[in-house]
Amino acid sequence: MDADPREAVAVAAAEVGAEHASARFRTELDIEQKDDEIDLVTEVDRETQRRVIAEIRERFPDDAVVGEEEDELKTVPESGYAWIIDPIDGTQNYTRGAREWVTSVAVVRDQTPIAAVNVSPETGDTYIATEERVERNGRPMTVSDESNTSAFLVSSTLRYQDGDRPGIERLAGDIFGTFGEMRKLGTTQLTLSRLADGSIDAVVGLDEQPNAWDTVAGVYLVERAGGTVTDLDGNRWGPGQPGLVASNGRAHDEVLEAAQAAFEATR
């Protein structure tokens, strides 16, 4: 079976976007707040999204587009092809000059991913998953084989806001009591990418409805690399489901239990 031509376009579009954002990295930026003081957007976010969309629509003008910025769709259609774009995942890092941010592009068919690309230009990493391959920088990648929970590196994608503090405190306590160490990168897509390449062992997010642009590409990378991704009820994860618990699959139940306890602490 021939590869879907959208796979190559996903790679090209993500690379075009990352190149533009990287050219403006650590320059003077016009920064705006969205919903709160840590939810930021810059003119580069918008410019980058437009460039990514232009690359896609040159080949597939009739496909749906879900994008974080501006007036694109905010939910994934149930049928047909749809592109899911986060022009700069990790905008707060980007505005501070920190290298941990990515341009993310995924394409789904009837809500099922067929390609995902996360380009992290400042760390020099490109993560690609298709129906035929999953790789970092052109080399096959896989989740870690760590099974000792006391050695697990667990990353949180929680945002440190007042209403989330009880859950964060509970999750941190469970992680430091049960697992090896807790990490936080400030970008969900790069965090999931690093789970896919074996750099960390699990990821926990407690958002009741995670945004598609923050998750879909990274989830596909993890699954194609051999990992497990569920919602907070333990069901296989999909857009619109509550929370996100991802792991290398070796101790998923233990990670899920910690996530569930943390989520209950926020209620």
245 and 184 housed in the same domain: yes
The CATH number assigned to the domain holding 113 equals 3.30.540.10
Q: What is the pLDDT of residue 34?
A: 63
Q: What is the pLDDT of residue 167?
A: 64
Domain edge (last residue) among 140, 158, 187: 140
Q: What is the pLDDT of residue 57?
A: 97
86 is in an annotated binding site: yes
197 part of a folded domain: yes
129 part of a folded domain: yes
End-to-end CA distance of the chain: 48
Which DSSP state fits 73? Answer: B
pTM of the full structure: 0.93
Which DSSP state fits 88? Answer: E
217 part of a folded domain: yes
124 and 30 housed in the same domain: yes
Q: Please report which helix (H) or strand (E) contains residue 12, including its range.
A: helix 6-24
13 and 68 housed in the same domain: yes
236 and 120 housed in the same domain: no
21 and 113 housed in the same domain: yes
CA nearest neighbour of 134 among 249, 14, 219: 219
Strands 181-183 and 81-89: unpaired
User: Per the structure, how many domains does the chain have?
Assistant: 2
CA nearest neighbour of 267 among 194, 168, 197, 163: 163
23 and 136 housed in the same domain: yes
CA nearest neighbour of 142 among 201, 88, 94, 91: 201
With a cut of 50, which residues of the chain have pLDDT below it? Answer: 162
Strands 202-205 and 153-156: parallel
Q: What is the pLDDT of residue 163?
A: 56
233 part of a folded domain: yes
157 and 251 housed in the same domain: yes
The CATH number assigned to the domain holding 221 equals 3.40.190.80
62 is in an annotated binding site: no
Identify whether the C-beta of residue 220 lies closer than 8 Å to the C-beta of residue 239. Answer: no
125 and 153 housed in the same domain: no
Range list of β-strands (E), 157-240? 181-183, 202-205, 228-230
Identify whether the C-beta of residue 6 lies closer than 8 Å to the C-beta of residue 114. Answer: yes
217 and 97 housed in the same domain: no
Q: What is the pLDDT of residue 178?
A: 84
1 part of a folded domain: no
Which pair of structure tokens corresponds to residue 136?
């970092």
User: From CA 213, how far away is CA 222, in angstroms rounded?
Assistant: 15
Identify whether the C-beta of residue 250 lies closer than 8 Å to the C-beta of residue 147. Answer: yes
68 is in an annotated binding site: yes
State the amino acid at position 77 in one-letter form.
P
128 and 13 housed in the same domain: yes
Structural domain containing residue 232: 149-265
Angle formed at CA 126 by CA 184 and CA 49, multiple of 5 degrees: 85
Domain edge (last residue) among 109, 140, 171: 140
Domain edge (last residue) among 108, 140, 172: 140
174 and 224 housed in the same domain: yes
131 and 183 housed in the same domain: no
Contacts of 240 (CB under 8 A, 6+ apart): 75, 76, 209
Which pair of structure tokens corresponds to residue 88?
């700069």
21 part of a folded domain: yes
Contacts of 150 (CB under 8 A, 6+ apart): 178, 179, 180
226 part of a folded domain: yes
Q: What is the pLDDT of residue 36?
A: 55
